[in-house]
């Protein structure tokens, strides 16, 4: 895990620009005035937008929230849920469990490509169903002849039954990298890696620039191009602030190892949905955990190892 970057600190006094950054022919006072005026105009125009709240805009970084401030933020999400979906929800912001680093194992020799994990994830994590259709898990059909090769991968396979002869199936989701390129790419520090290894997104701080999406080599991040399209009856009321709460339009989202479940000690939704038991989940620091047994006894590899992203998501062959 890379050391956390410090948050940007706003200096208390006037900012002294480096000499070569100064614009020529503009005295500092005038420049400061123009800047203030521009910011004020920007704020005024934003305040006119529907659904814009100055309180949200000036909310501190999640890691700086605590106690009552955090509670207020969570209650606000619950109120928004109530207003939008007419449902009572519980939104928590539970932090990482001490002494836990999550690891995920996926048995490629078992996966049959039935996509049940995909839809269990959609249901658990309140993804938009259609327009935009967002799937955090993508299952690729590959040829046994070619092995793990993205140039011979089919995302839209649709046979009557699976598995098809000569094919194997390769599910891809967020790999929770120890060296996450998406976190480095984020200009607003809206995404970061927590102590148990889960890379989370603060949807209020996300500005929707999609730099993280282009940085992610796994295509694991997805953008809400439209308002989420989610039937109120199917809303999962157990929500995590950094996880499965319904996302607004214009932000990026991705797999969080079901942060609302895993931090309660439960298996993720995809693990429970897998009909063949190909998915393994546990604590990498516990030598008795399933994932440690996998790593110690099976042939394990990580996807796109050459990129040095160091995923916490391991593919393995049990046979």
Partner 1 sequence: MRPTWFTRSSRRPRLAPLLALALLTGWPAAASSSEPKAGAAAPATAAKKPAAAAQVIQATSPPFTEGIFPCSGCHDGKEKVNTARRDLGFHDEQQSVFAHDAEHRWCLDCHDAQRRDQLHLTNGDLVPFTESYRLCGQCHGDKLRDWRVGVHGKRIGNWDGARTTFLCVNCHNPHTPLFKGVKESMVDGKLLVMPTLERIKPEPRPRRPEEVRP
Q: Which residues contact 79 (CB under 8 A, 6 or more apart)?
A: none
DSSP 45-90: HHHTSTT--HHHHTPPPGGG--HHHHHHHHHHHHHHHHHHH----E
To partner 1, the closest distance from the beta carbon of 100 in angstroms equals 6
Of 77, 113, 186, 224, the residue at the interface with partner 1 (CB under 8 A) is 113
To partner 1, the closest distance from the beta carbon of 292 in angstroms equals 9
**Residue 85 or 243 having the CB closest to partner 1:** 243
**Residue 151 or 161 having the CB closest to partner 1:** 161
Choose the binding region for partner 1 from 78-86, 126-134, 216-224, 230-238 (rule: CB under 8 A): 126-134
Of 118, 201, 206, 252, the residue at the interface with partner 1 (CB under 8 A) is 118
Q: Six-digit token pair at 25?
A: 């022919």
Query: DSSP character for 213?
Result: H
Of 78, 84, 148, 195, the residue at the interface with partner 1 (CB under 8 A) is 195
**Residue 116 or 210 having the CB closest to partner 1:** 116
Q: Six-digit token pair at 140?
A: 């690729």
Rounded Cα gap, residues 142 and 150, in angstroms: 8
Contacting partner 1 within 231-270 (CB under 8 A): 242, 262, 265-267
Contacting partner 1 within 61-90 (CB under 8 A): 61-67, 70
For partner 1 (CB under 8 A), the number of binding residues is 92
Looking at beta carbons, which pairs linking 241-245 to residues 24 or more positions away fall under 8 Å?
Answer: 241/62, 241/73, 241/74, 241/77, 241/91, 241/92, 241/93, 241/202, 242/62, 242/93, 242/200, 242/201, 242/202, 243/125, 243/200, 244/124, 244/125, 244/126, 245/77, 245/81, 245/89, 245/91, 245/126, 245/203
Encoded one letter per residue, x for contact with partner 1 by CB under 8 A and - for no contact, window 276-305 reads xx--xxxx-xxxxxx--xx--xx-------
**Residue 24 or 83 having the CB closest to partner 1:** 24
Contacting partner 1 within 158-177 (CB under 8 A): 158-163
Choose the binding region for partner 1 from 83-91, 115-123, 203-211, 216-224 (rule: CB under 8 A): 115-123
**Residue 40 or 237 having the CB closest to partner 1:** 40
210 and 223 Cβ atoms separated by less than 8 Å: yes
200 and 243 Cβ atoms separated by less than 8 Å: yes
314 and 299 Cβ atoms separated by less than 8 Å: no
Of 111, 115, 205, 245, the residue at the interface with partner 1 (CB under 8 A) is 115
Choose the binding region for partner 1 from 78-86, 150-158, 211-219, 231-239 (rule: CB under 8 A): 150-158
């Amino acid at each position: 895990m890379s050391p956390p970057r410090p948050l940007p600190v706003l200096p208390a006094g006037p900012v002294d620009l480096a000499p070569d950054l100064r614009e020529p022919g503009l005295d500092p006072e005038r420049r400061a005035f123009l800047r203030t005026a521009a910011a004020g105009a920007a704020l005024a125009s934003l305040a006119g937008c529907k659904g814009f709240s100055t309180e949200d805009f000036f909310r501190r970084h999640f890691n700086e929230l605590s106690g009552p401030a955090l509670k207020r933020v969570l209650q606000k999400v619950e109120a928004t849920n109530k207003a939008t979906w007419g449902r009572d929800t519980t939104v928590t912001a539970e932090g990482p469990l001490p002494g836990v680093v999550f690891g995920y194992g996926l048995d490629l020799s078992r996966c049959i490509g039935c996509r049940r994990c995909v839809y269990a994830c959609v249901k658990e994590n309140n993804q938009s169903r259609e327009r935009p259709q967002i799937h955090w898990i993508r299952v690729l059909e590959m040829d046994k002849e070619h092995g793990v090769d993205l140039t011979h991968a089919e995302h839209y396979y649709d046979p009557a039954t699976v598995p098809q002869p000569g094919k194997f199936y390769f599910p891809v989701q967020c790999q929770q990298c120890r060296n996450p390129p998406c976190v480095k790419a984020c200009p607003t520090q809206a995404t970061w890696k927590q102590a148990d290894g889960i890379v989370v997104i603060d949807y209020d701080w996300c500005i929707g620039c999609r730099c993280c999406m282009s940085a992610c080599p796994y295509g694991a991040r997805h953008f809400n191009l439209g308002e989420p399209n989610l039937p109120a009856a199917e809303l999962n009321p157990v929500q995590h602030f950094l996880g499965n709460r319904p996302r607004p339009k214009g932000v990026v989202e991705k797999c969080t190892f079901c942060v609302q479940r895993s931090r309660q000690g439960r298996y993720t939704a995809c693990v429970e949905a897998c009909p063949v038991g190909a998915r393994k989940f546990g604590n990498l620091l516990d030598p008795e955990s399933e994932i440690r047994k996998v790593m110690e006894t099976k042939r394990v590899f990580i996807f796109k190892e050459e990129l040095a992203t160091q995923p916490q998501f391991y593919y393995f062959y049990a046979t």
